[in-house]
A and B are shown apart, each in its own frame.
Chain A
């Protein structure tokens, strides 16, 4: 979606707040983070679904809210979508209806920490599928972007870049966020000349690298 989150290249945000170099400044931020990490198991939801819920926060709220407030709001949205809570419950913190507990078991501390430590690789075997593009090839990023979650930044659309590497097949974020994942697709590292993206204001020798899934790309 063409949301406010897709802010690469925008003007007007001022200097970098380099002095803001902490992770958490308030206890509630830790709680908001931890709620997202645990509810991802019991609701459940994927990281891409949580990202998409953040992207759908109204632009003025998106810019005004603390980062972890957005995490908490997105969790509330996902809980509402799953019909596990209602608006009144969120306001009061008091439950007014029961859920089917066996369908949404809470994750234990041990399971959560050991799974977090292990990680969950997002790659899939090529299965004899032929990648559409090869290293060295010039490709163009498609103009189209729908209403859903996507990982093509607006600044890259329609621009030409060179395939550096086929990274293999990865779960496809657009599909995962839409609940139709993993739908694995080849993903490519694409290098763009900075001047292709930003014009003459960029240094001639500078470049940008993006990892883009095959459905985002077309032959030049």
Chain B
């Protein structure tokens, strides 16, 4: 198979790094950008967003039946109640994995993703291979992630084509009834909330 084209090509790195630097200098010189805003927005995404937010949502849903019901009915409001909100999270729908249904999320057209609860997407989520294949052969793709879905399970693939962003509520692992919310959250992975891992 051809190699994947979405990763960095080292010989080009210097070229694009210079090009972006020139753009930044030009934008500051022209007064279109406040340099402090550039630093602030990167810091915001790195510090305030990320999968730990989503993991806290999942742990709360596993621990609190009322919250789980609310989360599945109005994901945006339930997630906002935990302090997670913002761009690419204005409209979030939470889909629940069960014994019968496995959900997996993609954006075939670009890279739509629920930023407030998962942060910015990882490179593989934006890759041509994932975007092209997970809708057509989801089970083969999930196997590449190490997840084998039983033949009788209903696989639902969600393509983020409009303004709603999708978030998967994984199944709570067996034998975790004694764990605290923090301990439960530590079990949850980013891929589990995309649907490419069990938890």
What residues of chain A have their CB less than 8 Å away from a CB belonging to chain B?
5-28, 30-35, 37-39, 42-43, 51, 54, 63-67, 69, 72, 75-76, 84-85, 89-95, 98-99, 101, 104, 106-110, 112-113, 116-123, 151-153, 155, 167, 170-171, 173, 187, 194, 197-198, 201-203, 205-213
A63→B128 contact, CB < 8 A: yes
Total residue contacts A-B, CB cutoff 8 A: 298
A8→B108 contact, CB < 8 A: yes
A99 to chain B: closest residue by CB = B30
A153→B145 contact, CB < 8 A: no
| B63 interface residue (CB < 8 Å to A) | no
Contact of A32 among B20, B34, B156 (CB under 8 A): B20
What residues of chain B have their CB less than 8 Å away from a CB belonging to chain A?
1-9, 12-13, 16-17, 19-27, 29-34, 36-42, 44-45, 48, 85-91, 106, 108-111, 116, 119-124, 126-139, 141, 144-145, 151-164, 190
B42→A9 contact, CB < 8 A: no
Q: Quote the shortest CB–CB distance from B133 to chain A (angstroms).
A: 7
Chosen A-B contacts, 7 in total, with CB atoms closer than 8 Å, are: A8-B109, A14-B3, A51-B109, A106-B33, A106-B34, A155-B108, A211-B163
A209→B91 contact, CB < 8 A: no
B38→A34 contact, CB < 8 A: yes
For the A-B complex with A39-B27, A116-B44, A206-B155 known, give 16 more contacts whose Cβ atoms are closer than 8 Å: A8-B131, A11-B132, A13-B1, A16-B130, A17-B6, A17-B123, A20-B127, A21-B123, A26-B13, A39-B32, A43-B32, A64-B5, A93-B21, A121-B91, A173-B162, A211-B164
Contact of B122 among A22, A39, A51, A151 (CB under 8 A): A22
A171→B85 contact, CB < 8 A: no
Contact of A85 among B21, B30, B154 (CB under 8 A): B30
A107→B26 contact, CB < 8 A: no
Q: Given contacts A26-B17, A203-B139, A209-B156, is CB(A51)–CB(B37) below 8 Å?
A: no
> With A and B bound together, what is the CA distance between A152 and B43 in angstroms?
34
6 smallest A-B Cβ distances: which pairs?
A: A8-B108, A93-B22, A109-B40, A211-B162, A20-B123, A14-B1
